[in-house]
């Protein structure tokens, strides 16, 4: 752990700080001009929208499908998904962090002729109500809910209370017409992925979407095995995501989960192989 993080964990923290965004443009060979709002937080990496990432998603989803992006952040994962689904499809993009949510909102407004995105400022949680997240800096760039991980391990010293919603209840009440079209779920929740997926177990069993999830860097073997077992119990084959242009990397077994410190997995329903 860095000395600065240790100082912050001991309570010596600077005041919260907000950052603007800048709209950037990318010319894709097939999809044409795409605009993207880049968050100007100094710890935010520069995002690039590529044709390769959109084409990879099109291997698994079709125009008109519905996707859910849980932990959408500024929208760098949301925009390629929305491009793959087209203007007849829809991405529900969940991001509870009010410091980055305005950037996600802007990205939902851009490319209106090519995409349809609904930004939602809440976290997917088992029950409705406030919940506590932890972030790494006063601008609240990187963080989330770190259940079961000591603060001395994850090193995120900046608490933020956000709103949580039970996602299946929200979907059934607000978007019941979309559920039959659910084709893809992406979860990036800093080790909270399994809890979220468990809340969606009924929809996963009924709709059989493709699922991309995160093996969190600070998750131990037992936590990783539980997430892997969730996929196996729901009759999914699990692959390591090699890159945004290659989701179907090597097929994983339980013995492979500690090889890499941090990686994403891609779950394919057995019947779709």
The per-residue pLDDT for range 119-159, each reduced to its tens digit, is 999 999 999 999 988 888 888 887 776 566 655 454 666 88
* pLDDT value, residue 6: 47
Higher pLDDT, 133 or 29: 29
pLDDT greater than 90 at residue 71: yes
- What pLDDT, on the 0 to 100 scale, is given for residue 190? 86
| Alpha-carbon distances, residue 196 vs 16, 17, 166, 188, 242 (angstroms) | 28, 29, 9, 10, 23
CA pair distance 29, 70, nearest whole angstrom: 28
Q: Is 248 helix (H, G, I), strand (E, B) or coil?
A: coil
Phi–psi pair at 248, nearest 5 degrees: -100, 65
Distance, CA of 227 to CA of 231 (rounded, Å):
7
Within 10 angstroms of residue 271's Cβ, the number of other Cβ atoms is 7
What is the pLDDT confidence band of residue 109, given thresholds at 50, 70 and 90? Answer: very high
The β-bridge relationship of strands 182-187 and 66-70 is: parallel
Q: Please check whether residue 207 is in contact with residue 180, taking contact to mean a CB–CB distance below 8 angstroms.
A: yes
Residue 10's pLDDT is 43
Q: What's residue 34's pLDDT?
A: 98
pLDDT of res. 117 = 98
Percent of the chain with pLDDT over 90: 82
Q: Which of 21, 225, 244 is nearest to 264 (CA)?
A: 244
Residue 99 has pLDDT above 60, yes or no: yes
Q: Does the pLDDT of residue 9 top 60, yes or no?
A: no
Residue 138: CB atoms within 10 Å: 16
What are 35-51's pLDDT values in tens digits? 999 999 999 999 999 99
Average pLDDT, the chain: 92
Give the model's confidence band at 236: pLDDT under 50 very low, under 70 low, under 90 confident, else very high. very high
Extended strands (E) in 188-254: 210-215, 236-240
Return the CATH number of the domain spanning residue range 3-272.
3.40.50.150
Q: In the predicted model, what is the mean pLDDT of residues 206-229?
A: 96
Kindly report the number of other CB atoms within 10 A of residue 72's CB atom: 30
Alpha helices (runs of H) in the chain, residue ranges in sequence order: 3-9, 51-57, 78-85, 101-109, 151-154, 167-174, 193-199, 201-207, 221-233
What pLDDT is recorded for position 106? 98
């Amino acid at each position: 752990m860095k000395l600065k993080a240790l100082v912050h964990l001991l309570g010596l923290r600077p005041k919260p700080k907000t950052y603007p965004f800048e709209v950037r443009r990318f010319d894709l060979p097939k999809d044409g001009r795409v605009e993207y709002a880049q968050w100007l937080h100094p710890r935010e990496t520069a995002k690039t929208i590529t044709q390769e990432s959109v084409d990879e998603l099109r291997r698994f989803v079709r125009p008109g499908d519905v996707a859910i992006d849980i932990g959408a952040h500024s929208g760098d994962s949301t925009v390629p998904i929305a491009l793959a689904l087209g203007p007849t499809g829809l991405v529900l993009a969940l991001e509870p962090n009010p410091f980055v949510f305005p950037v996600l909102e802007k990205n939902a407004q851009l490319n209106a002729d090519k995409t349809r995105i609904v930004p939602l400022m809440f976290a997917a949680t088992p029950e409705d109500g406030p919940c506590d997240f932890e972030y790494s800096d006063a601008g609240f760039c990187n963080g989330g809910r770190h259940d079961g991980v000591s603060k001395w391990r994850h090193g995120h010293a900046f608490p933020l209370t956000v709103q949580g919603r039970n996602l299946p209840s929200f979907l059934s009440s607000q978007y019941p017409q979309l559920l039959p079209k659910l084709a893809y779920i992406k979860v990036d929740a800093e080790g909270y992925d399994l809890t979220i997926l468990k809340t969606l177990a009924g929809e996963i069993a009924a709709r059989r979407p493709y699922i991309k999830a995160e093996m969190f860097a600070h998750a131990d073997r037992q936590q990783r095995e539980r997430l892997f077992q969730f996929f196996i119990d729901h009759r999914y084959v699990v692959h390591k995501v090699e890159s945004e242009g290659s989701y179907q990397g090597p097929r994983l077994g339980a013995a492979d989960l500690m090889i890499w410190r941090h990686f994403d997995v891609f779950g394919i329903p057995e019947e779709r192989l």
